[in-house]
A and B are shown apart, each in its own frame.
Chain A
Amino acid sequence: MKLKGRKVNPGMAEGEAIVTQIPFSFLGELDPATGKIPSPSHDLFNKSIAGRIFVCPGGKGSSAGPGVAYLAKQSGNMPKAIIVKEIEPVIAAAIIFADIPAVDQLDQDPLQAIETGDYVKVDADRGIVEVIKKKRNR
């Protein structure tokens, strides 16, 4: 399956998807030293987004976000790429500042098209996301 969208920040990456249905705040929802999500009420609590293709609906919360993203990048704990349904200014600044390949405004809702565990290839320059569905367990 191929999805077409808009480049937020250039670059290419591929890997295993990890999907949250909750708008994301880097401050409080990403521990830059581990890449894990420390917030107990989060649907990805205690899971790591480091080195994965992170899929989220948008951004929210603290303006400190890009500083956290920058530190996570320095310690190798940022996702390889980020797919956002629709960016807002803080998550966009975090993505640009940490320089992570990212796309948004896809022609299909990425939160439905992509599930955690799917293998995803992101070509942000061309705004293309390729999704290889994981094998389902019966």
Chain B
Amino acid sequence: MILTEEEKKMIGGDYGPGVQKCMKLLEQWGELFGAERMIRVNHVHVSTSFPTKAVIELSEGTNRVRTLSSLHAVYDPKYWREKFGVILKRLGGGYGTPDEGEFEKRMSLLRKLNFLPTFTCAPYCIGIFPKPGDVLCLTGSSGQVISNSLFGARAGRESVATCFAAAITGRTPLMGLLKKENRFAEVLVKIGTELDPTILNEADYGALGYYIGEVAGHKNVAIEGLPEDISFEYGRSLLSPLPVSGACVLCHIIGVSPEAHTLEEVLGKRKPDVITVDKKEISSSYEKLHNATDGREVDMVAIGCPHLTISEIGELASLLHGKKVNQNVRLVIGISRPSYVLAKDCGYADIIETAGAIVVNSCVGPLNPFVFLEEGANAGAATNSARAAHYIQRMSAGKTKTFYGDLRKCIKAAINGRWEE
């Protein structure tokens, strides 16, 4: 790989062992994927669960990140103990830390390095807004697929280690989806004759995305035949399962995505694999995402994976207005703190909280703390997020069964304590 003078200094250790380690990691990683040089990064987003020891190791000898760096949704063990009486032995298969002291230490290290305390999986909702062509290194595959597909920014298939290294160096290898020639669609999805996309709800879109991710694997996707006025939120529901059932982080929605005015533009004379999705494919995803048996009690309803937009918070408030959450149900809502402040000003937050919902800036999907409660084992969880359903099943080792359906059904379940089709 050809490095600039500055990058050579970084790898040579002139800026300390942390920067050096980060640059070495990025160089080895980049070379495996044919990168010829590094590129400057506009925004980095890092998981707060990155092990403290790793944070120390990769930042040794440096005092500041070298680009705009924000932090992912958080599990703050002290906050969860004080506010909800939740004490966990383990989180995320041992990934997040339940240790209050270690958490404080890690956050203080990250704050000192100038990571912004954004604590959300959806930084684009709170003013960290990419423009087309921006280079992003994002933890959280939902942020990657959404930034690529709805914003036209360039986000590679990153990981927490390479993101952290990008924050410390301000660089990432120019490879993969950061290069225009790698952004063409390889799989073309057509909508079948029995499927009317104008009547799909967010759970249907999530089921559709879940199916497409399974078929596409790591390939780039284009979807033809969706409404050009599809909402940002429905777009998100469609996109966010793609890197969960598969490893796809770029999906051009023809007529919607900034790089996808026409099919020709995204194919670039390539011949894609063509698949057709119809009602039957959506149903097959529902069968996987909804594995709770009929009549089973709903213990938890998880909404906000990814963290809700202000429109979704408004919709939620209208469904909860004047209602009470069932005493046997935890209705847990994932909202970033800045969005919560806006929701408070709108009057939404009071309606939601008066109804008895629990609003958190934690993850309500893969690292949902309630899933890791000992007594939470063998529970039933309802959600309108395909991403959350997938991960709640897996993170609980299959003990938590999931109910999958749109927000209306989920809120009904939260109020009645039962799932109704």
Contacts and interface: CB of A to CB of B under 8 A. Distances in A.
Interface stretch (B43-51, B61-69, B229-237): B43-51
A23 B244 CA distance: 11
B224 interface: no
B158 A89 contact: yes
B395 A60 contact: no
B333 to A, nearest CB: 22
Contacts of B90: 33
Interface stretch (A67-75, A107-115, A124-132): A67-75
Category for how many chain A residues contact B:
35 or more
A59 interface: yes
A93 to B, nearest CB: 4
Nearest to A105: B32
B366 interface: yes
Main secondary structure of the interface of A (DSSP, over half): mixed
A39 B398 CA distance: 7
Given A33-B90, A71-B51, A63 B218 contact: no
A67 B51 contact: yes
A45 to B, nearest CB: 9
Contacts of A9: 28
Contact of B144 (A33, A63, A93): A63
A32 interface: yes
A38 interface: yes
B29 A61 contact: no
A93 B28 CA distance: 9
A40 to B, nearest CB: 4
Given A40-B397, A97-B25, A63 B163 contact: yes
B139 interface: yes
Contacts of A88: 157, 218, 247
B180 interface: no
Interface string B22-58: 0001001100110000000000000101110110000
B29 A96 contact: yes
A79 interface: no
B206 interface: no
A18 to B, nearest CB: 18
A62 interface: yes
Contacts of A60: 217-218, 243, 246-247
A66 to B, nearest CB: 4
Q: Which of B29, B32, B33, B144 has most A Cβ within 10 Å?
A: B32
Contacts of A29: 394
Contacts of B217: 23, 60
Contacts of A59: 247
A100 interface: no
B140 to A, nearest CB: 6
Interface string A14-31: 000000000100011111
Nearest to A28: B394
A63 B397 contact: no
B255 interface: no
B247 A23 contact: yes
Interface of B: 25, 28-29, 32-33, 47, 49-51, 53-54, 90, 92-95, 138-141, 144, 156-163, 176, 217-218, 243-244, 246-247, 366, 391, 393-395, 397-398
17 contacts: A28-B391, A29-B394, A41-B394, A60-B247, A61-B243, A63-B159, A64-B47, A66-B162, A67-B47, A67-B51, A68-B93, A70-B54, A87-B32, A92-B33, A93-B161, A94-B161, A96-B28
